[in-house]
Structures are given as structure tokens and as C-alpha cells.
Amino acid sequence: MAPTLTQFGQQMSHLTGVRAIMKDIIETLQSGQSADFINLSAGNPVIIPEVEQLWRDCTAELLASDDYGEVVCRYGSSRGYEPLIEAITADFNRRYDLTLKPENILITPGSQSLYFLAANAFGGYTTDQRLKEIILPLSPDYTGYGGVSLYPEAVRAYRPTLEVDEAAHRFKYRPDFSQLKITEQTGFVLFSRPCNPTGNVVSDDEVRRIAELADDVPVFIDSAYAPPFPALNFTEMTPVLAPNVVHGISLSKAGLPGERVGIAMGDAATIRVLESFQTNLCIHSSRYGQAIAARAIASGALAELSQTVIRAHYQEKFAVIETTLDATMPDVPWYLHRAEGSIFAWLWLQDLPVDDQVFYQSLKQYGVIIVPGSPFFPGLRDDWDHKHQCFRISLTDTAERIAIAIRRLAQLTQEIYSRGPQP
């Protein structure tokens, strides 16, 4: 049967951005040669023994408690599991000297769903058919932002400025405030910090400047890699809170991706809108995931492991990529984004003679899979060669296999640049 789809059905049923690439990667890995590939495409976090044990311990506590039946066998509040909300407000108030209240918190089924709620509550067409845009102030950014709105034309991104250290082969993206426009047509602003895919951390001052430019327009900061959990920042940063700022926190990279627990933190009026939307969509997030998260946060164990174990694990993997690139890359204009956070490295091959898709396919012949960078520029309207010269490299394999993969990548880079532009 081939059901007739609506306009929205057509849009939401299509694979977009990196998900289309992942389909090709899955087919490659299922081809019978999967053992021969070093797969540096994964966004799935590593199962770290100490982190897994924390969730096992929290599960054992839940099973032994009188709350188990109430948690698993009954519906709950759309706002979220009360002990989890209490644990979050207490932790952030103590840690950052805030005055958060329960009405400032909403628990969502992962942070991706939060941006879908926001995109269709604050972005898109108003009742008088005016388009409210979703502004991405710094491109590249998370590829999933390209699929959150029912109106793709609502998503608009801006090019960054590039700080390039040619001698060190490093670079960094920064917001280009000379170009960034937040107007009456803006529904809300959205960016990740630390950034998926680049690891870029927008500075505290830059966040404040964006929030001030937005004025009374909501600014959603995707904090899926931010402190205090999972604390995958390799440079100093703190959550910047302002009246118009909403933080989207996720426990996925803190070892709980299967339970889909996201946390929205912001102005009570904005939170109420998102809560109503969520109630209509799915009632509430998984209560089991919320209940074990409440225990991990209230005890302080999750924040401690995030800072001492999770961060260190990925920082060590990034160091392997840095040292291997520095030792093996040919004398071409290659640049690695500065190590500021997340579970990925971001490589720019300036003046690459082929586009990112061709390079990705060629590297598979060397037994290595990475992700082409072009899907990570959702909403960028103008053409930019840079989009087709970048690659996301996952830090989720072993250090030894990562080093082997980078050496193979360097070999391919040498061969492609030596051949020159391809017809």
C-alpha cells in the first residue's frame, strides 16, 4: 500500500542532512565487509564502564524503592518527574548561584524533540501568514536543525568569520556580527554550544551579545555537550542565562541516549508554551529514564563522572587525532578546528580538488568512514565552497584505530591534492 501523504507528511518522511549519509553508511557496513572498516561516523556515545555502572546502580535503587510502581506503571505530569525537576533546580541553583523554580524546567523526550516543539511554536507562519524565521547565527551547526520545522523556508543560517592559524593548521569559527540580523521577522534563535559537529564553543561574551541582539526573541542554546553534564567542553565555559535564553540539556552523551531525556530550562512563560505543545504531542518523556536521572543528579555522581571520566575519555581521543594529523598530513592547506568540546573533530581541507562527497566515497576504499561536512550547513542560503571542504570525524572508536584511520586519510589527501582538480 502507498498511502497519500500530505505536504507535511512528504517532508517528514524524507531523509535529510546527515541521515541520508547514514543510510549509505549502514548499507556499506551491512555489505559483508564491516569488519574491514574503521567507522568514524558514529554519533552514538561510547559505553564507558564507570558511567554504565552509575546507571546500573541508579536502576537498582529505583527497583528497590517504593516509587517503582508509580514511576513505571502510571502516567505522570507533562512537566516532568518531580524529583528530577527538584534535583535539577537544586543543582543549578547551587552550582551557578541561580534562583530557578520548577516552573522554569520542562523534561522532554530528548533535546531533539525540544527544538521541534520550539521550531513549530515560535517559527513558521503566524495566523496572519507572516513567516517567523528560525535564525542559526553560526554555520555550520547541528544538521538536525534542518528538519525541525514544518516550513523549511523558515530556517536561515549565517556564515561565520574564520580565525585561521596557518602555521599550526588550526582554525576557529566565530559569529559574524556584521552580517547577523535578528529582526521582527525572527521567531527564535538557535545554536549549539559546544557545537555538533565542529566542537566550537561560542564565548560567553558572544552569547550575551546574541541574547542582547535578540532582545525579547527567544534564544535556544543547545547544551547537549555542555557542563555540568555531560561536560564535554575542553575549554572553560559556563551556561549563560538571560531572560530570553532557553537551555536545552540532554543526558544522551552522559550515557543515557536510549532513554531520551532532555531538559528545557528557561523563562516560565516560554516553558508553559513548550509544555502545552508536548502534552498534545506525546504526554511526557520516559518516567523510568527520568527517575534514574534524578538519582544520578541529586547525588552529584553524574556531574562528577562527567568532569572526571566522560570529558577525559573524549579529550584523550581528540589528542590522538591532533598528534596523528600533525605527524602525517601532507603539505596542503588543512586545518583542524580547535579542541573546544563535543565528541567529534572537524577537519577543513581548503581548496580540496574534489567535493566532500567524492572524498568520503574515496576514503571508504581505504576502509575508513567519516561524515562529509556539507549536510551541517542547514539554512545557509548562499553558495560557499567551504561547505564542501569539511568533514566530521567521530571520537568513538579506540585510540589505535583512530590513529590508523587518520594515517589512511592523510594518504588519500596526498593523492587527491597531487592529482589536482578533477573534471
CA angle 154, 151, 117 (to 5 degrees): 90
pLDDT of residue 390: 98
pLDDT of residue 32: 61
pLDDT of residue 244: 95
**Which amino acid would we find at residue 205?**
D
pLDDT under 70 in the chain at which residues? 14-22, 29, 31-35, 422-423
pLDDT of residue 5: 72
Q: Provide the residue ranges of all domains of the chain, joining segments of one domain with +.
A: 7-49+305-416, 70-302
Cβ atoms of 295 and 36 closer than 8 Å? no
pLDDT of residue 277: 87
Cα 89 → chain centroid? 23
Residues β-bridged to residue 175: 160
Assigned C-alpha cell, 332:
596542503
**81: helix, strand or coil:** coil
Residues β-bridged to residue 335: 348
For residue 375, is the peptide bond before it cis, meaning its omega torsion is within 30 degrees of 0? no
Q: Determine the Cα–Cα distance for residues 111 and 252; give it in Å rounded to an integer.
A: 9
pLDDT of residue 104: 97
Tell me: domain 7-49+305-416, CATH 3.90.1150.10, correct?
yes
Under 8 Å CB-to-CB from 304, ≥6 apart: which residues? none
Residues β-bridged to residue 220: 190, 246
CA angle 415, 418, 419 (to 5 degrees): 90
Query: What is the enclosing helix (H) or strand (E) of 57?
Result: helix 49-64
Per-position b or e across 127-150, b if 16+ CB within 10 A of its CB: eeeeebbbbbbbbbbbbbbbbbbb
Output DSSP code: residue 291. Answer: H
**pTM of the predicted model as reported, rounded to 2 decimal places:** 0.93
Output DSSP code: residue 135. Answer: E
Backbone dihedral region of 249: left (phi > 0), alpha (psi from -120 to 50 degrees) or beta? beta
Cβ atoms of 217 and 186 closer than 8 Å? yes
Query: What is the enclosing helix (H) or strand (E) of 56?
Result: helix 49-64
β-bridge pairing 371-372 and 390-394? antiparallel
pLDDT of residue 7: 75
pLDDT of residue 76: 87
CATH tag for 70-302 (out of 2.40.50.100, 3.40.640.10, 3.40.50.2020, 3.30.1330.20): 3.40.640.10
